[in-house]
Amino acid sequence: MRPLRPVGIVGYGAYVPIYRIKASEIGRLWGHDGCALPIVEKAVAGPDEDMTTIAFEAARYALMRARVNPDEIGAIFIGSESKPYAVKPSGTIVAEALGIGSHLLAADYEFACKAGTEAFQTCIGLVGSGMAKYAMAIGADTAQGRPADDLEYTAASGGAAFVFGLKSKETVAYVEGSCSYATDTADFWRRAGQPYPRHFGRFTGEPAYFRHVITAAKKLMEELGLGPEDFDWAVFHQPNTKFPLKAAKMLGIDRKKLEPGLLVPYIGNTYSGSSPLGLAATLDVAEPGDRILMVSYGSGAGSDAFSFVVQDAIEEKRGLAPPVRAFLERKKYLDYASYARFRGKLLR
Amino acid sequence: MKAPPAIVGVGCTKVREHWGKSVLDLAVEACLKALEDAGNPDVDAIYLGNAASELMNEQGNLAALLADALALEGIKAVEVRAGDASGSLALHQASMDVTSGSSRAVLACGVEKMTDVMVQEVERVGMLFEDARTTFHSGVTIPGLCAILTRLYMERYGADYEDIILFAVNDHRNAANNPYAQYPFPIDVKAIMGSPLVADPIRLFDTAGIGDGAAAVVLCEPGDARRMSDAPVAILASEVACSRMSLSERDDLLSIRSLRLAADRALEKARVGLKDVDFFEVHNTTSIMGILALEEMGLAGRGEGWKLVKEGQIAIGADWPVNTMGGLKGRGHPWGATGLYQAVEAVWQLRGEAGKNQVDGAEVGLTHNMCGLGSVSCVHVLARWEVVA
């Protein structure tokens, strides 16, 4: 998929809450001391944070880098599976807080962990077709993990926002193409009214994550006539540390190309925020001319693959807002009790 | 001695997570391979071993379903159920059928599709093959029971856990050369000790994994053996024995009496001494069960099995090659299929088709498959047809 007119990212922003809990602290509680854990630590939303506040923070930084009048943003899409309201859009909350005008298209997307990148594609389509001058896509989550479930070690909070516009000297990276792959694969789900998702163990690997990520990535490369060696950087959805590294290996991509965007060991799986945050962290270090492969994954299941080419404006714009690294370094550790209170696991 | 039935065709699927195949797909694949290997003969019966397809795959009555799928309307279709001994018991029934003269050629198939349910459910279903009153309702699991046995063994005989798990290391070394194995790579003691603790002291990599698979053999009456195969394999003996089901009711926790009884009967029936057996396929849900099996069959004295393993005597090329294609740990353990995987692998050895794992001059092999921790054991003694003729 390519827009009729070239479209690119004009601004990006990231946000990760300050709180962390170590996987070993969760393991201590459930008797998994000394076992290999999927990550080192994960980011936890504070008691006054939810998905919309995270989205707002990231979007604010994206606007700082975009240097556009908020009024010119014609659409906002938030991808998330932890919306504060089951019925009531999150996009309107964030847009109003940002000062974006009311002649606005706003919608929330849900596709497990890939809802954020679907927002990318919608924005690219709207801008590329001329229906919007600028459009904002946000992937953000305060993901839920049932106590003692494998997901509790990784389900984390964070998000990233991107402003798309027609390719110009303001563009930090333009879209070469995108490709999606989706099937009815029930590897992970949360039914209406349920507080925690359920998942189907190892089924989430080979027939779910890897099948979709690899298929979408290969198809994108085929359509663009590119090979793994043509990409300087790569970002995959990061449910744990192992999966993105294995996906890279399967595609023949050197693991060094993942390193800047491989955030999961230190912030966990931020669901809809995961691959967008990885992209933001990669843009923080990429040089003009670099090509970035990004592949999201959402259970249920599907992947969106993108190829971005970094432009000169990155050098000037990356300093206009905090880099992802700043959020990684800024942290306060919680014990399990405080984590349980912050995440509403204790009833009063 | 009446001439024994012959195995004239074998086939199996790779043991793995077959996400895209049903329990029936797997059984059909193995049976078609076995039938083709036997020259596609007419068969009079199917004996199908499976532990828990109703509970894990929402599909019962598998034998008739399989016969239907193979377009074998009208034949005898019999399902055999005895937990993870179902495969060998299906082979036993098939062997009895041919021996009795009731059928001329039969299929024996074992199949299990374990990945349709979550791991916790597999654990729960696995315990349904134990005595509900004394075992299932207590909440203990098979690895939990193996942990008790391992601790007792270590205390009584002075073995370290690191010594015991060398049994799993042997399995993996052999599995590395088996293209049908679930885990075709070597592992070492360090890797096992670094894997998560399942039930102290049992580590995850000391337990047979969860996998899907099917294996099948075609049997025929002795008079047809040479006509149907260039290298028929004789079933010299097929013996079954049960023992006290609950560990708590056994005289000695570290004795698998059903195995002793079945092995003694089988060797006597086959008129074969233990020393005449060139290789052994034993049922090692965890390493301790493999070591107890060595002792129970008399390969080592009580409390000496771990030394046999540590001294390398169960490796291919040594005195007592054990689990030559990877055993339950390396090849995998799809419950109802395991007994037939053992038979298929034994046939490879006896035909000289075991590749890098070939036991030189293998003429006689013994397979041991059991339910749980030995409530039922089934032992087969297989031999090259020349041994009989």
B40: CB partners within 8 A, 6+ apart:
none
Q: Mean pLDDT across the stretch B350-376?
A: 97
Counting Cβ atoms within 10 Å, is residue A103 exposed (0-12), middle (13-18) or buried (19+)? exposed
pLDDT for B196 equals 87
Cβ atoms within 10 Å, residue A215: 18
Residues of A annotated as catalytic (active site), given as ranges:
81, 113, 237
pLDDT for B326 equals 98
B186 within a domain of the structure (yes/no): no
Could you tell me the CA-to-CA distances from A273 to A239, A286, A309, B343, B357 in Å, in that order?
Answer: 11, 20, 21, 52, 50
Tell me how far apart the terminal alpha carbons of chain B are, to the nearest angstrom. 12
* Calpha distance B374→B51 (Å, rounded): 15
B202 within a domain of the structure (yes/no): no
Residue ranges of B 106-125 with Cβ closer than 8 A to chain A: 115, 118-119
A206, B17: Cβ pair inside 8 Å?
A: yes
Instruction: Name which CATH class applies to A7-171+316-332.
Output: alpha beta
Cβ atoms within 10 Å, residue A33: 10
pLDDT for B2 equals 79
Residue among B339, B375, B382 at smallest CA distance from B50: B339
Q: Is B19 on the interface with A (CB under 8 A)?
A: yes
Q: Is A206 on the interface with B (CB under 8 A)?
A: yes
> Which CATH number characterizes residue B336's domain?
3.40.47.10
Three-state SS at B20: coil
Q: pLDDT band for B389, please (50, 70, 90 cuts).
A: low
- Mean pLDDT value across chain B: 97
B119, A201: Cβ pair inside 8 Å?
A: yes
Residue ranges of chain A assigned to CATH 3.40.47.10? 7-171+316-332, 177-311
pLDDT for B53 equals 98
Q: Mean pLDDT across the stretch B256-268?
A: 98
Q: Is B194 on the interface with A (CB under 8 A)?
A: yes
Three-state SS at B112: strand
Q: Is A35 on the interface with B (CB under 8 A)?
A: yes
Q: pLDDT band for B246, please (50, 70, 90 cuts).
A: very high
pLDDT for B1 equals 61
Q: Mean pLDDT across the stretch A301-323?
A: 98
- Residue A31 clears pLDDT 90, i.e. is over it: no
Q: Is A207 on the interface with B (CB under 8 A)?
A: yes
A203, B19: Cβ pair inside 8 Å?
A: yes
List, in sequence order, the alpha helices (H) in chain A.
Answer: 23-30, 51-66, 91-98, 115-129, 211-224, 242-251, 264-267, 274-283, 313-317, 324-329, 336-342
Q: How far does A33 lie from chain B, in Å, by closest CA?
A: 9
B120: CB partners within 8 A, 6+ apart:
none
Q: pLDDT band for A201, please (50, 70, 90 cuts).
A: confident
pLDDT in tens, B215-240: 999 999 999 999 999 999 999 999 99
Q: Are strands B364-371 and B376-384 parallel, antiparallel or unpaired?
A: antiparallel
Inter-axis angle of helices A274-283 and A115-129, nearest 10 = 60
List, in sequence order, the alpha helices (H) in B327-366.
Answer: 327-330, 335-351
- Which residue in chain A is spatially nearest to B195 when comparing CA positions? A35
* Calpha distance B83→B374 (Å, rounded): 11
Instruction: Output the DSSP codes for B200-220.
Output: TTEEGGGB----BEEEEEEEE
> Do residues B205 and B187 touch, judged by C-beta distance below 8 A?
yes
* Calpha distance A49→B23 (Å, rounded): 48
Q: Is B190 on the interface with A (CB under 8 A)?
A: no
pLDDT in tens, B140-168: 999 999 999 999 999 999 999 999 999 99
pLDDT in tens, A2-26: 888 999 999 999 999 999 999 999 9
Best mutation site among B18, B117, B118 for testing chain A: the one with the most A CBs within 10 Å?
B118
- Residue A34 clears pLDDT 80, i.e. is over it: no
Indicate the residue of B17, B195, B196 with minimum beta-carbon distance to A202. B17
Counting Cβ atoms within 10 Å, is residue B360 exposed (0-12), middle (13-18) or buried (19+)? exposed
Query: Is residue B26 within a helix (H) or strand (E), and if so which, with residue range?
Result: helix B23-37
Strand order in A73-79's β-sheet?
Answer: A105-109, A73-79, A134-142, A157-166, A7-15, A173-185, A300-310, A291-295, A233-236
Query: Is residue B237 within a helix (H) or strand (E), and if so which, with residue range?
Result: strand B233-242
Chain A hits for B197, CB-CB cut-off 8 Å, are: 34-35
Q: Where are the beta strands (DSSP E) in B92-194?
A: 105-112
pLDDT for A287 equals 98
B115, A202: Cβ pair inside 8 Å?
A: yes
Burial string for B274-284 (b: 16+ CB within 10 Å, else e) reads: eeebbbbbbbb
Burial string for A140-163 (b: 16+ CB within 10 Å, else e) reads: bbbbbbbeebebbbbbbbbbbbbb
> How many domains, in total, are found in chain B?
1
Could you tell me the CA-to-CA distances from A153 to A42, B166, B233, B292 in Å, in that order?
Answer: 8, 32, 53, 38
Q: Mean pLDDT across the stretch A156-162?
A: 98
pLDDT for B387 equals 87
A202, B194: Cβ pair inside 8 Å?
A: no
Indicate the residue of B118, B194, B195 with minimum beta-carbon distance to A201. B118
B197, A203: Cβ pair inside 8 Å?
A: no
B119, A207: Cβ pair inside 8 Å?
A: no
Q: Which residues partner with A75 through β-bridges?
A: A105, A135
B195: CB partners within 8 A, 6+ apart:
A36, B203, B204, B205, B206
Percent of chain B past pLDDT 90, that is, above it, reads: 97
pLDDT in tens, B185-208: 999 999 999 998 899 999 999 999
B179 within a domain of the structure (yes/no): no
- Which residue in chain B is spatially nearest to A198 when comparing CA positions? B118
- pTM to 2 decimals? 0.86
> Do residues B382 and B349 touch, judged by C-beta distance below 8 A?
no
Topology annotation, domain A177-311: Peroxisomal Thiolase; Chain A, domain 1 (3.40.47)
B141: CB partners within 8 A, 6+ apart:
B123, B126, B127, B199
Read off the DSSP letter of residue A210.
I
User: What domain range is B364 assigned to?
Assistant: 6-118+209-384
Which comes out higher in pLDDT, residue A78 or B119?
Answer: A78
Q: Is A32 on the interface with B (CB under 8 A)?
A: yes
Indicate the residue of B19, B118, B197 with minimum beta-carbon distance to A206. B19
> Do residues A239 and A209 touch, judged by C-beta distance below 8 A?
yes
B191 within a domain of the structure (yes/no): no
> Do residues B296 and B256 touch, judged by C-beta distance below 8 A?
yes
Percent of chain A past pLDDT 70, that is, above it, reads: 99
* Calpha distance A102→A90 (Å, rounded): 14
pLDDT in tens, A220-267: 999 999 999 999 999 999 999 999 999 999 999 999 999 999 999 999
Q: pLDDT band for B343, please (50, 70, 90 cuts).
A: very high
- Residue B47 clears pLDDT 80, i.e. is over it: yes
pLDDT for B95 equals 98
Chain B hits for A35, CB-CB cut-off 8 Å, are: 196-197
Indicate the residue of B118, B195, B196 with minimum beta-carbon distance to A200. B118
- Which residue in chain A is spatially nearest to B204 when comparing CA positions? A35
Indicate the residue of B118, B119, B196 with minimum beta-carbon distance to A35. B196
* Calpha distance A151→B289 (Å, rounded): 33
* Calpha distance A108→B89 (Å, rounded): 57
Q: Are strands A105-109 and A73-79 parallel, antiparallel or unpaired?
A: parallel
